[in-house]
Amino acid sequence: MNPEQAESSTSLSLESASKELSQRYIDECSGCAQRFSSWSEEEQTHFVESLLQQMTHYQHGRVQAFLAPMLQRDFISALPARGLDHLAEKILAYLDAESLKSAELVCREWRRVVADGLLWKKLIELQVRSDNLWRGLAERKGWLQDLFRPQRGCQPKDNAYYRQLYPRILQDIERIENNWRSGKYRLHKIQCQSEASKGVYCLQYDEDKIVSGLRDNTIKVWDRRTFQCIKVLTGHSGSVLCLQYDENIIISGSSDSTVRVWDVHSGEALNTLYHHCEAVLHLRFAEGLMVTCSKDRSIAVWDMVSPKEITLRRVLVGHRAAVNVVDFDQRYIVSASGDRTIKVWHTTSCEFVRTLSGHKRGIACLQYRDRLVVSGSSDNSIRLWDIETGSCLRVLEGHEELVRCIRFDSKRIVSGAYDGKIKVWDLPAALDPRSSPAAMCVGTLVEHTGRVFRLQFDEFQIVSSSHDDTILVWDFLAEDDDGSETGGAAGGGGGGGGGGGDDDDDDDKSGRGAAGKFNPVGGNFIAGGDEDDADVD
């Protein structure tokens, strides 16, 4: 007899045995049950354990099969029955979207808990709070107020609304990523119409305005929605080469060698700083500290108590040519110069740390975040550096002239050059030593008719300025019927070589500004340089 036949025979014999229980057994079993019920819970447990020890393996299996359904409890349905709906909602709120959809299919009670708890709304709220892309979409699409700021008198949206909204958000995100990759955008153009010398050297924007510094010595503020000029700040006697603003002030640097402080709301001049003896090429401020750099080859570190109380703390020297750009965080100040080097200094002590060398000509731009420094040079290349070791991680090649501006986030690098082109690079690929050069550049955007001086971007758009006296807004999300121009990428491609590295993503330059507002990458640090003044040879 084979094992299958033996198992079948045993099963049949046991089944027949269960039908042949004696009356004596039935009577004795009833008496045992009555006695069992008279014992304490501890005594009952001890008795059952003793029985189990005397059973065969087969009997253990029978008992386990009998107990399994009894041990399964639908606690989600049981909690509301005891008035604990909030606990059931709290448990299901930990589920991701796919799991939440599955939970709705378990039974009517689970679906009711999901609906009554508005768990789809809470899932979207969690994403909006933690992800800049979701936050930006909420603002752009107008459903942010449904989540956090419902209008008085309006009927609140139900769970079905948010359940349908979630996949639409995913579709928008997919479309944005595809548009970045394929170079599809809607183009908005601001013609600055400078009366004297033409050129827009620096800019910064948020959801309400664009602030730009021009070669005609003015700062112009533009309405973000209408693209009309709403304010002109005058006072500099030279080109406005760099600027930065926050919720209270604008600080600008000029070829007239001064740094000026303005009220961001009224445009009133609040302070003028005299220190540098040549053009102020770049500046950056945050958390009571400001760093400026100049064609005079020096870097000035300032303490900011208030707009009218700014004092010089330290002057950093060591570069052998104009210092074209600075950036800093709580650890390091990073500077780049026409002398072809990047220098690193301790932020608190202002002591020199190390020099990053590799560019073959002067360095015009850089951005620093976490361990990563990305720089652009007059040698037409972009380099990625590990600030802790000083090693070059990757060289990106593709621009045909000086790389004048560069920004990066966790996904991409965007660069602008004197060849009039803006290139988009895949940052994770650039940091992967296994990636081929062909995988680096994912698109080239050509709309400017002059040198690209400055750019800034977020998940949805690039804003750039140029020697052609225009500011361009490249929108990768806009609907097809918004009435603006439609553009496309001139093509991908680009080269590179070198090593790889790691990428981190956090800190105050991650795209979220004060009070949790959505701001573009580098929103707290946008500056620029005048091609006549900067030394990048």
One DSSP character per residue, 328-385 reads E-SSEEEEEETTSEEEEEETTT--EEEEEE--SS-EEEEEEETTEEEEEETTSEEEEE
CATH topology identical between 75-147+156-179 and 186-516: no
Domain spans, the chain: 75-147+156-179, 186-516
Classified as helix, coil or strand, 242 is strand
Q: What topology is assigned to 75-147+156-179 in CATH?
A: Monooxygenase (1.20.1280)
Q: CB–CB of 123/97 below 8 Å?
A: yes
Q: CB–CB of 353/332 below 8 Å?
A: yes
What DSSP string runs through 63-89? Answer: HHHHHHHHH---HHHHHHHTT-HHHHH
**Quick one: the chain helix, strand, coil %, rounded to 5?**
30, 35, 35
Question: Is 278 exposed, middle or buried (CB count within 10 Å of its CB: 0-12, 13-18, 19+)?
Answer: middle
Give me the pLDDT at residue 508, please: 33
pTM over 0.85: no
Two tokens, residue 276: 């540098």
pLDDT per residue as tens, the chain (537 positions) = 444 443 444 344 334 445 567 888 887 888 888 888 999 999 999 999 999 999 999 999 998 888 887 777 777 887 887 788 888 889 888 999 899 999 888 899 888 888 888 899 899 889 988 888 888 888 888 787 777 766 676 777 888 888 888 999 999 999 999 999 888 999 999 999 877 778 999 999 998 999 999 999 999 999 999 999 999 999 999 999 999 999 999 999 999 999 999 999 999 999 999 999 999 999 999 999 999 999 999 999 999 999 999 999 999 999 999 999 999 999 999 999 999 999 999 999 999 999 999 999 999 999 999 999 999 999 999 999 999 999 999 999 999 999 999 999 999 999 999 999 999 999 999 999 999 888 899 999 999 999 999 999 999 999 999 999 999 999 998 665 444 555 655 444 433 333 333 333 333 333 333 333 334 444 433 344 444 545 666
Give me the pLDDT at residue 19, please: 55
Q: Using DSSP bridges, classify how beta strands 403-408 and 381-386 pair: parallel, antiparallel or unpaired.
A: unpaired
d(CA 395, CA 390): 14
Superfamily classification of domain 186-516: YVTN repeat-like/Quinoprotein amine dehydrogenase (2.130.10.10)
Q: Using DSSP bridges, classify how beta strands 269-274 and 495-497 pair: parallel, antiparallel or unpaired.
A: unpaired
What does DSSP assign to residue 30?
A: H
The 10 Å CB-count burial string (b at 16+, else e) for 63-92 is: eeeeeeeeeeeeebbebbeeeeeeebbeeb
The type of residue at 98 is E
Long-range CB contacts (< 8 A, 24+ apart) of 215-222? Answer: 215/239, 215/240, 215/530, 217/254, 217/256, 219/243, 219/250, 219/252, 219/262, 220/192, 221/267, 222/190, 222/471
Give me the pLDDT at residue 4, please: 46
Classified as helix, coil or strand, 496 is strand
Give me the pLDDT at residue 362, please: 97
10 Å Cβ neighbour count for 141? 13
